Chain A
Amino acid sequence: MYLKIIRRGLYNFRDSYLIYILSCSFAITVLSVLATIVDDPSLQMVRNWHANLKSLMQGMMFIFAFFTFIYMIYVGGFFVKQQRQEFMTYEKLGMSRHIVAVIAFIQTFIVQIVAWLIGMLVAVILQKFFGMLLVYLMHVRMEFRFHFSMVAFHMMFQFFITSALIFSLVNALRVYWMQRKNSKRTRLHLNDFCKSLLGILGAMLFLIGMFVSIPLIQESKQTNVLDEILPGVMVVMLLFLVGSYLIYYGFLPLVLKILEKIKTFSYRGTNLFAYKYLRKRLVQNTSIIWFVTELSALALTILIFCFMGYQIVHSDYSNSYPFEISANQNTAKEIRNELNSNGSKVKKEYSSPVKKTIGQIYNQNTGDYEQRLVMAMPYSSYRNMPKMIRKNNPKINSHQFLEIRGNPQTLYTKYRDAKSSVIIQNQQTINKVKIGAFYPFGSAMFSEIAMVVPDEYFAKLPTKFSDTFYGWDFHGSDKLSHKFIKKIDKKNNPNSIRVKVGSNIEKSSLQEIPNSEDRDWHTNEYNQVPYVRQANARIQIRQLTGIFIFLIFIFSIALLIALGSLLTLKVLLKDDYEWRQLKTLKKVGLTENELKQIVRRETSFLFTIPIIFALAQSVIAAIVINVALKQSSLLSFGMIGLAYIALYGLVGILTFHLSWRSVKQRIN
């Protein structure tokens, strides 16, 4: 008979259990896959794997495990709450509290076992797929073989047993406790007036948060230091957190109540019932919706942040390495000979003379003029560079000056338009310079400031510190051997130069300084590398960004599934009272379409609210990114926001269909 009770409990909520089990299984799958990937033998052969990437993966795995645990334990409690009435009845029928608790224990345990078995099974099936995805994203050329890791399996099994026991125990205790204190539920119940007041306060706080964040965004474009903006961000965050809760708690119910009271709206078809129903559902689920909102906002912020980070790494990478190989005059000849002899397919060779001198440049951050090393190149050589390089800088003609700075601030249009004058040693003041951010030959070849100048101007510059830079484009890769690289490294030490600052710019001078491996670098000391090879960096970048994308991908999908399923479960799990109401509506004469409309409204209401408020709150991401990464985040913000809306919309539609199906079944 106990078995029958357990079976019935599971059967009655089969839709919801299915969703719970599926979302748990997904989390377990991801967890198991991560666990096996961490000590996968084929990945051990990838360079750099041991050093950083493995620990990165491991860290991610633990964070993931933590969230999975929280999710499972929290959502698992829903079912116990649903069966409250039933458990009470058993007790009234004379079953002891212990036995009812044991029933809850067994029920939870069964669900856990099913979830874990499915999860681990799917993990075994998908392991190869995930591994291949990772390897592909890391651009590592190797076969990812299926691998059954005893260590990972053992670990997962332990985790499985402990967590299943813990969850079941927690649910048993929940039931036990529920029965004991069923008579009096002392909960803070404010009257509607106070709630509405708090709600209005919440709406005001939220609005203030929005208004405060606008000047913060403006400010964040100016400042460099995160500390300056941090107090503001904290205040806005607090305003959002408290504000949105109070809005859910008091303001939205108030709005619905007002709609109820306005007879033009409420005396219209199903509205008479629908507003009250929505309000009731909202009041019941305030904390959940809030929880989902805040976590979604957090997830959005993280996603935007990561996406931006990825973009920056990428643009920084192509900024540093526009050519497969760049070299200066010391190494160019050797490299060219080697390229000719080893059969590399050179597409084109670029070159440009470069002269080093001293310039007085305005620094936006300090508001001062500073003397810096300036590396000039003539316009005619710049014009011959590949379009890919020039298109990232503002356009100039043969009489104009282009200043190129590594500072990403230069990406802001405001900065670009700034007209500061530049004074070059022994030359006339240049009044108008355009400012770009993309170095020809890559940022690694230059120090601090590069300038493209008219040809005649270039000719007049002193030639004491001059050089020639070369860049090669290839079909395929460069094919330089390890041995050759070693040889060239040994022969060519980077040479270094210092700006000796005088009382004014005319009295300053450049001097060569001896180079030793481990010296401290000071301001105005510059290092000239003899060559830069893209291939070295590419591997690391690709591996890093590969793992990055892999983790973000998994993490965001898991979070989405978790939060989406939370909402779905909340829509699906109605108590007896709500079922009775829907049945009565049918008897009163509501058509199927009208009932469907009510279900649709409920679903879209519960889904739209978190989406709107989460998007509104992730504006914080924009502020922080503006400061921390010095980039406008509008594009990624829009893209991720749209993706989020689309995915949640999809979950919402699915939920609606499930919900409608169960309603239809119950009322007929």
Chain B
Amino acid sequence: MVQIIVKNVAKDFGKKKNAVHALKDISLEVEQGEFLGIMGPSGAGKTTLLDIISSNDRPDHGQVLIDDIDMTQQHDRELAKYRRRKMGFIYQSFELLDSLNVQENIILPLVLNHAPKKLIKQRVEHMNDLLNISELKNRSIDDLSLGQKQLIAAARALINNPEILFADEPTGSLDSKSATVLLNYMQMINQREKTTILMATHDAFTASYCSRVIFIKDGSVFSEIVNSGQRTDFFEQVINMQRTIGGGSYFNVPENN
């Protein structure tokens, strides 16, 4: 079943003369329960695309339909409600509140939804065990390393079991062990709970967890590869595609791989 339909979306930033065409006419469809990777060099428009699909931002042209609802026609209030109920976000810049401590940051989405205290406690313990962050509980955000911040951001995104998870470079600041833990968990919820995941990344290893990867370049879809089930093969395919697109220095993949 198709859950997300993106039709001819375009987005510019800035005024007429020196406008940046971040997205030019992008269309794509995402099945329910898919783990979609979005790849492309820096500045390709990955973040912008995720923002528009998640209705954080509105496109200049085109439509975004989620569960047959046209998000571009909805009122801001409806959108906020929808996002809070169904979506989780891991932002590239984490977007943690440094006035709150780690635990408060994690539970924020549940508290905003007026969840009962028992459920909050249960969920937070679950996330702590899973991502192995229980000893960070009472720390202040300022004292965390980048990697730890990313884990907290992930915990916050996952705490209310979102139907759709948006992840923008979720492993960008993680060491390979933490990255593997997080990716495995994402794969697990994708398979068990049929959570749809949209993940932007420019790391081939991270992308190899996806069931499908689309490549965008200069604001349009360049190509896509589907994961046949063999992760190492898929990894090779991704690397090859990256080479094809070029602009190698933008990628953090070693040249002599």
Contact = CB atoms under 8 A, between A and B. Distances in A.
Interface stretch (A121-129, A473-481, A560-568, A586-594): A586-594
Interface string B64-87: 000000000000110011011001
Contacts of B81: 591
Given A587-B89, A587-B91, A588-B109, A272 B80 contact: no
B110 to A, nearest CB: 9
B26 interface: no
Interface stretch (B1-9, B93-101, B170-178, B220-228): B93-101
Nearest to B81: A591
B114 interface: yes
Given A267-B117, A277-B99, A588 B108 contact: yes
Contact of B56 (A277, A585, A587, A591): A587
A594 B108 CA distance: 13
Contacts of A268: 111, 114
A273 interface: yes
B218 interface: no
B84 A584 contact: no
Interface string B103-141: 010011101101001001000000000000000000000
A270 B104 CA distance: 12
Nearest to B51: A587
Given A263-B117, A267-B111, A588-B109, A273 B80 contact: no
Contacts of A593: 77
B80 A590 contact: yes
Contacts of B96: 584
A269 B112 CA distance: 4
A7 interface: no
Given A272-B104, A587-B56, A594 B97 contact: no
B108 A272 contact: yes
Contacts of B56: 587
Nearest to B82: A589
B109 A269 contact: no
Interface-central residue, A272, A585, A592, by most chain B CB under 10 Å: A272
Nearest to A264: B117
A593 B91 CA distance: 23
A585 B97 contact: yes
Nearest to B120: A267
A591 B87 CA distance: 14
19 contacts: A264-B117, A267-B117, A267-B120, A268-B114, A272-B104, A272-B108, A272-B111, A276-B99, A280-B99, A581-B99, A584-B95, A585-B97, A587-B95, A588-B89, A588-B109, A588-B156, A589-B112, A591-B77, A591-B80
Given A276-B100, A588-B156, A592-B77, 14 more contacts: A263-B117, A264-B117, A267-B117, A269-B111, A272-B100, A272-B108, A272-B112, A280-B99, A587-B89, A588-B95, A588-B97, A588-B108, A588-B109, A591-B76
A268 B115 CA distance: 8
Contacts of A594: 112
Contacts of A267: 107, 111, 117, 120
A584 B109 CA distance: 13
Interface string A351-395: 000000000000000000000000000000000000000000000
B182 to A, nearest CB: 19
Contacts of B104: 272
A264 B117 CA distance: 8
Contact of B112 (A263, A276, A280, A590): A590
A273 B96 CA distance: 12
B100 A270 contact: no
A593 B75 CA distance: 13
A588 B91 CA distance: 10
Contacts of B89: 587-589
Contacts of B84: 589, 591
A594 B114 CA distance: 13
Contacts of B100: 272-273, 276
B109 A592 contact: no
Nearest to B75: A592
B112 A270 contact: yes
A589 B81 CA distance: 8
Interface in A311-332: none
The interface residues of chain A, by DSSP majority, are classed as helix
Given A589-B109, A589-B112, A593-B77, A273 B117 contact: no
Interface in B32-77: 56, 76-77
Contacts of A589: 80, 83-84, 87, 89, 109, 112
- Interface size class for chain B? 20 to 34
Contacts of A280: 99
Nearest to A277: B99
Minimum-distance CB pairs A-B, first 9: A591-B80, A589-B84, A584-B95, A272-B111, A587-B95, A276-B99, A267-B111, A589-B83, A584-B97
Interface residues of A, number: 23
Interface string A250-270: 000000000000011001111
A269 B109 CA distance: 9
A581 B91 contact: no
Interface in B135-175: 156
B108 A592 contact: no
Contacts of B98: 581
Contacts of B87: 589
A273 B97 contact: yes
Contacts of B108: 272-273, 588
Nearest to B115: A267
A523 B202 CA distance: 104
Contacts of B99: 273, 276-277, 280, 581
Contacts of A592: 76-77, 80
A591 B84 CA distance: 9
Contacts of A269: 111-112, 114
Contacts of A272: 100, 104, 107-108, 111-112
B76 to A, nearest CB: 6
B29 to A, nearest CB: 25
Contacts of A273: 97, 99-100, 108
A392 to B, nearest CB: 62
A315 B18 CA distance: 74
A253 B87 CA distance: 35
A659 to B, nearest CB: 19
Contact of A581 (B97, B107, B120): B97
Interface string A473-498: 00000000000000000000000000
Contacts of A587: 56, 89, 91, 95
A593 B112 CA distance: 12
Nearest to A268: B114
Contacts of B77: 591-593
A169 B211 CA distance: 65
Contacts of B111: 267-269, 271-272
Interface in A103-136: none
Interface string A23-63: 00000000000000000000000000000000000000000
A468 to B, nearest CB: 84
Interface-central residue, A280, A585, A591, A594, by most chain B CB under 10 Å: A591
A271 B112 CA distance: 9
A449 B30 CA distance: 100
Contacts of B120: 267
A327 B156 CA distance: 91
B159 to A, nearest CB: 12
Contacts of A277: 99
A270 B99 CA distance: 13
Interface string A583-608: 01101111111100000000000000
A587 B109 CA distance: 11
A590 to B, nearest CB: 7
A592 B76 CA distance: 8
A277 B100 CA distance: 10
Interface in A225-283: 263-264, 267-273, 276-277, 280
A524 B76 CA distance: 85
Contacts of B95: 584, 587-588
